Structure 1
Amino acid sequence: MYLLDANDPFPTFPDPQYAASPEGIVAIGGDLGVARLLQAYRQGIFPWYNEYEPILWWSPDPRLVLYPEWLHVGRSLRKSMRRSPLTLTFDQDFAGVLQGCAEPRGTTPETAGTWLSPEMIAAYERLYAHGLAHSTEAWDPEGRLVGGLYGVALGRAFFGESMFTRVSDASKVAFVHTIRALGEAGYRLIDCQVYSDHLAQFGAREVARSRFLAELDRALAGPEPAGPWPEPRRKAPISSARP
């Protein structure tokens, strides 16, 4: 297994096409600095691990992706969206969305934990500060944050990371709103990482890792859209962005 050095100022990863594990683990260790995370996403790799464990870097095969033109919204959700009292915003409460995504999803041992450790939360907050991560928020009529999602935007690709909901359909409404806005802005590839029935219902499909990486290269080569974000945020120098 490829081991990363947290003290290496020039983070590199092996070619994900040759991931050593059948699950798609590419490397272990390293750090969650902005430079390393940026390099990872550009190579189709993302971090996913439990607190108190070494950092695991993944590039699964197959890969779940959603192209904006594939978006499917079922009849019941369309009806719910027409009647929804929710207000949708972008980048208005990134920290709140992270905290929502970190909340336990249930009371059983399998659902009571979260992969969003304080270390991971701090890492994505740094990406947000550098204009690389973004959030969508769903607010109820009383102004309470009741759902949302966040991810990383590079080139014409958006890497979805996590979503949460506190009221019925809030995360679904936020997801549809985000995909539509990304498509209108010129984003061509939405990375959904690994298969789930929840995302498949919106039109996400599994593709071979080789196809995903080739399409990611094309998405990164094109001009970066302004995006649906409130205003472009100046990106700080990545070389100075280690934790």
Structure 2
Amino acid sequence: MTKRSYDQFFKNPRTWREDLVAVGGDFTVDRLLYAYTHGIFPWSEDPIRWYCLDPRAIFDLNRVHFSKTVLRKIRQKKFRITYNEAFPIVMEGCAYREKENTWITPGFHAGYLQLHKLGWAHSVEVWNADHVLVGGVYGVAIGKFFAGESMFSFESDAGKIALYHLFAKLRESSFELFDTQQLNHVTWQLGAYEIPKLTYLDRLEHAVSDMTPWIIPPSHD
């Protein structure tokens, strides 16, 4: 599809008053990149529903709050941290729920794996001393914009430790905007807050003005 076709498929978030901006389509890379650069994200499959929320929840990368317990675990270096070594497995970890369904269905896996292969989606992995993946986070990076999609913990605080290292890498790369879509108890505790949709879209437009994939800086520790 052309940009004009996507313009016709999605309602314009700047003028459309509802959160739901489209139903249908697919998880192709072109459609996902168009959506993210216009403040839109998918939230279900069969059918695919696309949203642009008002208000929108974001993080200020310089004002994230981690508990003393999490910071102590990071200082102790009990976990090994990697980047983009196990993206599909991180998605599987984020999708796992013992007693409920999740929005990360097979279509999401396939679409975001293609984004990852082309350099647009990234993961942070947390491994314990037994070389078992116990936590992680993944999301989409375009220019200086990062959309945090989901995180998981199979050991206490492992997901937050992944998020801590992700934030550090984003600051190192001078990212301007971290989207967490909607507030929940965990993100609120970490310092996420809401801004009006139009403010978000203005900041997003600037952050993706140089639309390039993110090359994660190497670690030096």
TM-score over 0.5 (shorter chain):
yes
Match in the other structure for 1:27:
22
Q: Check whether the contact 1:182–1:227 (CA below 8 A) recurs between aligned residues.
A: no
Structure 2 residue 31 is the aligned partner of structure 1 residue 36: yes
Cα separation, 1, equivalents of 2:155 and 2:162:
12
Residue type at the aligned position of 1:47: P
Identical amino acids, percent of aligned pairs: 37
- SS state at 1:69 partner: coil
Aligned residues: 215
Q: Give the gaps of 5 or more residues in structure 1.
A: 1-7, 231-243
Match in the other structure for 1:69:
62
Match in the other structure for 2:11:
14
Q: Check whether the contact 2:144–2:207 (CA below 8 A) recurs between aligned residues.
A: yes
Residue type at the aligned position of 1:190: F
Cα separation, 1, equivalents of 2:118 and 2:207:
20
Q: Check whether the contact 2:123–2:137 (CA below 8 A) recurs between aligned residues.
A: yes
User: What does 1:183-222 correspond to in 2, within 5 Å?
Assistant: 183-222=171-210
Cα separation, 2, equivalents of 1:56 and 1:188:
27
Residue type at the aligned position of 1:79: R
Calculate the TM-score normalised by the size of structure 2: 0.91
Q: Check whether the contact 1:90–1:135 (CA below 8 A) recurs between aligned residues.
A: yes
User: What does 1:35-114 correspond to in 2, within 5 Å?
Assistant: 35-49=30-44, 51=45, 53-104=46-97, 106-107=98-99, 112-114=100-102
Match in the other structure for 2:110:
122
* Deviation for aligned residue 1:197: 1.5
Are residues 219 and 87 of structure 1, via their aligned partners in 2, closer, same or farther at CA, if it must alter by over 3 Å? same
* Deviation for aligned residue 1:185: 1.3
* Deviation for aligned residue 1:77: 2.0
Cα separation, 2, equivalents of 1:223 and 1:31:
22
Cα separation, 1, equivalents of 2:15 and 2:23:
14
Q: Give the gaps of 5 or more residues in structure 2.
A: none
Cα separation, 2, equivalents of 1:31 and 1:224:
22
Are residues 46 and 225 of structure 1, via their aligned partners in 2, closer, same or farther at CA, if it must alter by over 3 Å? closer
Deviations 1:186-209 (A, max 9, x none): 111100000112011111111111
Match in the other structure for 1:135:
123
* Deviation for aligned residue 1:92: 0.4
Out of 148, 163, 179, the residue aligned to residue 136 of structure 2 is 148
Q: Check whether the contact 1:186–1:227 (CA below 8 A) recurs between aligned residues.
A: no
Deviations 1:208-228 (A, max 9, x none): 111110001111124758542
Q: Check whether the contact 2:137–2:159 (CA below 8 A) recurs between aligned residues.
A: yes
Q: Check whether the contact 2:120–2:142 (CA below 8 A) recurs between aligned residues.
A: yes
Residue type at the aligned position of 1:29: G
* Deviation for aligned residue 1:74: 2.3
Residue type at the aligned position of 2:88: A
* Deviation for aligned residue 1:80: 2.7
* Deviation for aligned residue 1:130: 1.0
Calculate the TM-score normalised by the size of structure 1: 0.83
Deviations 1:108-157 (A, max 9, x none): xxxx1111111110000010111110000000111111110110000100
Deviations 1:17-63 (A, max 9, x none): 23353xx11111111111100000000100001x4x31100110010
